[in-house]
Structure 1
Amino acid sequence: MKTLKNKAEFDLVYKNGKRYDRGCFRVYILLFSHSSLGERRLSFKERSALSHFISQKQNFYFGLSVSKKVGNAPVRNKIKRWFRAFCRNYESLLEGRAMIFVAKDFQSMEYALIQEEMLKILNKSCA
């Protein structure tokens, strides 16, 4: 499990990934094996980021985006820990993807809710 490091990697997932909205968060998922990646015109940085993803032994990349609007630092860190814990627990389901988790509303967010909704999203994205 590796993290997305630079703007080109985030942009690749934002532009070419599938977006899933839930009440308290949004997820962008890019499947490395998706056929439309070869058809799209990618910038040089996006092509190099994609080739880096595919060439690495690690098959899962993730990025986190938690705005200051969500809460104070302890709250934002708690959300990040929850998502990292989910990724560690379900790493086998996440192979072959790059994922960005964007937190929107903390008031209705719990780890059980994140886990349940993310599993639904992963089942949708596999189909």
Structure 2
Amino acid sequence: MITLKKEKEFSKVYQKGQKKHTKYVIIIFLNNNLNEKRFGFVASKKTGNAVKRNRIKRLFREVVRLNYNKFKENYDYIIIGKAVLKDNIDSLKYDTMEKDILKGIIK
């Protein structure tokens, strides 16, 4: 799995990408013409303290790792955690997060 690292890469996807909203995440995606899938994971301070933000990003990475083939080729994806995760992350299970993210990419 290739990740977006540079601010320039994130900015391009933020500005030109299409957004899909689900209950827990916002998924922004953009065609990159690079013949590869790239991913960025964002959990802002609105989603909780450092422990919660790291858990959210670990869940996002695991969903992508196990469902890698369901994401389209030649696309950059940024998965952003919504503030509603702040209260729910302790009780939130992997299955729920997986369904939510997959619902966002299939819409």
**What residue number does 1:36 align with?**
none
Shift of 1:91: 0.9
One-letter amino acid of the counterpart of residue 32, structure 2 = F
**What residue number does 2:61 align with?**
84
Shift of 1:81: 0.5
**What residue number does 1:38 align with?**
none
Q: Secondary structure at the match of 2:106?
A: helix
One-letter amino acid of the counterpart of residue 102, structure 2 = L
Shift of 1:74: 1.2
**Percent same amino acid at aligned positions?**
33
| Pairing 1:61-76 to 2, within 5 Å after superposition | 61-76=38-53
Shift of 1:17: 1.2
Distance 1:79 1:13, change over 3 A: same
Work out which of the two has the higher radius of gyration on C-alpha atoms and give 1 or 2. Answer: 1
Instruction: Specify which of 81, 87, 94 is matched with residue 103 of structure 1.
Output: 81
- Cα distance in 2 between the residues matched to 1:66 and 1:123: 22
Aligned length: 101
One-letter amino acid of the counterpart of residue 119, structure 1 = L
The TM-score normalised by the length of structure 1 is: 0.71
The one-character-per-residue Cα deviations of 1:10-54 (angstroms, maximum 9, x if unpaired) are 111111211011232211011336xxxxxxxxxxxxxxxxxxxx1
CA RMSD across the alignment: 1.7
Is 1:20 equivalent to 2:40 in the alignment? no
- Cα distance in 2 between the residues matched to 1:30 and 1:117: 19
One-letter amino acid of the counterpart of residue 55, structure 2 = K
- Cα distance in 2 between the residues matched to 1:21 and 1:119: 11
| Pairing 1:21-36 to 2, within 5 Å after superposition | 21-32=21-32
- Cα distance in 1 between the residues matched to 2:96 and 2:31: 24
Deviating beyond 3 angstroms after TM superposition, the runs of 4 or more aligned structure 1 residues are none
Structure 1 gaps of 5+ residues are 34-53
CA contact (8 A) 1:70 1:103 kept: yes
**What residue number does 1:118 align with?**
101
